[in-house]
Chain A
Amino acid sequence: MITAERKPFEQIRAVTDQFGKVLVVGCNTCVAVCLTGGEKEAEVLASQLRIARGQDGIAGSVETVTVLRQCENEYLDAISEQVKAADLVLSTACSIGPQGIAERFPGVRVAPAMNTNMMAVVKGHHHWAEYCVACGDCGIFNTGGICPIARCAKTLINGPCGGSQGGRCEISPDVECVWQLIHDQLVSLGLEENLRKISGPKKWSSANTGGPRSMKKEGFKP
């Protein structure tokens, strides 16, 4: 899933205060699961904005509406009237949401209420962690099903740097050393010989650095 976190309230206000009619649009898929931008969170944000704007005497209104997925036009079309009536659409989706709205409704002002974080696994209650950076060239078969591109701070593909200590990464005790995990996994699978194999150089042309990517499936009719 994709995770996103709400921007600091003062940053959101600095944008929204310039507009009269604000429509907060929630997204009920990824950001609802990670409890940051679904229907409930969109309504909470709208209430906070109403109170703050009321205290500061800012005229206008703050309404909310939530769709299942802002990344698909069929859901956006259902809120077309509300979007067009607003002076500003404030999206609580990942960055794909506000971009989707801006593309679907030319002339409408759109702002993100969120910072998009990562493609994540659900590690536990209220805990998500980055497991994929969409490099476009998945090689985790050789690393025991664990990705060093997404999960090593230096994207190392040939083993741990000198900063691996007690299973933790040198950049923070909160970060696991993925090469400790890969090492332990390969040993437990009896694949120690993989540790000695040289990988790479990594093919980055299939990642985002190779240019924006898109995907089309041929042979399917709408």
Chain B
Amino acid sequence: MKSGSILEKTLESGAFAVTGELGPPKGADAGVITRKANILKGHVDAVNITDNQTAISRMASMAAAKIALDEGLEPIMQMTCRDRNRLAMQADILGAAALGIRNLLCLTGDHQSFGNHPDAMGVFDLDSVTLIRMVKDMRDVPAFQCGEEITKAPELYIGAAANPYADPFPFRAIRLAKKVDAGIDFCQTQIIFNVDKFDQFMAQCRELGVTERCRILAGVAPLKSAGMAKYMKNRVAGMDVPEEVISRMEGAADAQDEGIQVCVDVIDRVREIEGVAGVHIMAVEWEEAVPEIVSRAGLRPGSARS
């Protein structure tokens, strides 16, 4: 075991893993985390704790991850390259490991122009690939990026993100392969609505040997309304929402229920694709939907706990 995390045990045992997402609050209230954690607990194997998601300043992912951990929900701490240089990142990685955090998701981060501090300096000292390599070396050598020895290695299960819908399409699987070469153990994808295109992406991943060396969790999300579906399609770069999904949402008598069903239908299809090791359910600010999705899809998280 590299980290001994529940997520690692689940994925390495071959069980189909379920992860969720928990966004820290725009305030110092730990109660927000514990409330959300209790909605998700028992319905996921681990939960992503976002790091200033969409470049909006929030409670630190490390602090929120520790609060979730204490609440009995295993965190996957997200870390972006936007807000810190390699010194600060290594300090946070050691600190997180010392606090008992065992999963780290390495991300480039959304550009600061999208957030609430557009005049901030974007750091991007490292990119996601060089961050992954640094974390792997910290764990396995163990050494800092500069080469100096680390006295006690941070035991971390290392993850990354992949977006099958961004361009150039032929580069997407190659980029994930680079992340695997750099040292990831698992990855989570962008939200999938266009399953056919994801299927093509997975075929490329299998061809590059990615699926043998990395556990891929397919990203899914429940839509709340037809408006949300259209917004994602037209306004969010790197999102692919087929017309068929939009018309399903438009024609639904109960949009939220249909949104959950669309999500369940996607899960049913991606489970059949060779190399898909789990699902990552992104129900941000709609955590209540997760138990329903997990139940309807017949998922059985928690295998590594029992």
Contacts and interface: CB of A to CB of B under 8 A. Distances in A.
B238 A165 contact: yes
Interface string A180-222: 1001100000000001101111101000000000000000000
Interface stretch (A71-79, A89-97, A102-110, A153-161): A153-161
A198 B137 CA distance: 15
A166 interface: yes
Interface in B98-138: 108-111, 113-114, 122, 124-130, 133-134
A170 interface: yes
A68 B271 CA distance: 69
Given A153-B111, A195-B171, A158 B161 contact: no
A54 interface: no
Interface residues on A, range: 20 to 34
A188 to B, nearest CB: 13
Contacts of A195: 171, 174
Nearest to A180: B168
A200 B130 contact: yes
Contacts of A154: 81-82, 108-109, 111, 122, 124, 127
Interface stretch (B70-78, B177-185, B273-281): B177-185
Given A155-B124, A200-B127, 15 more contacts: A154-B81, A155-B127, A158-B129, A160-B168, A160-B171, A161-B166, A162-B166, A164-B167, A164-B237, A165-B166, A171-B111, A198-B181, A201-B125, A201-B130, A204-B125
Interface of B: 81-82, 86, 108-111, 113-114, 122, 124-130, 133-134, 145, 161, 163, 166-168, 170-171, 174-175, 177-178, 181-182, 190, 237-238
Interface of A: 153-167, 170-171, 177, 179-180, 183-184, 195-196, 198-202, 204
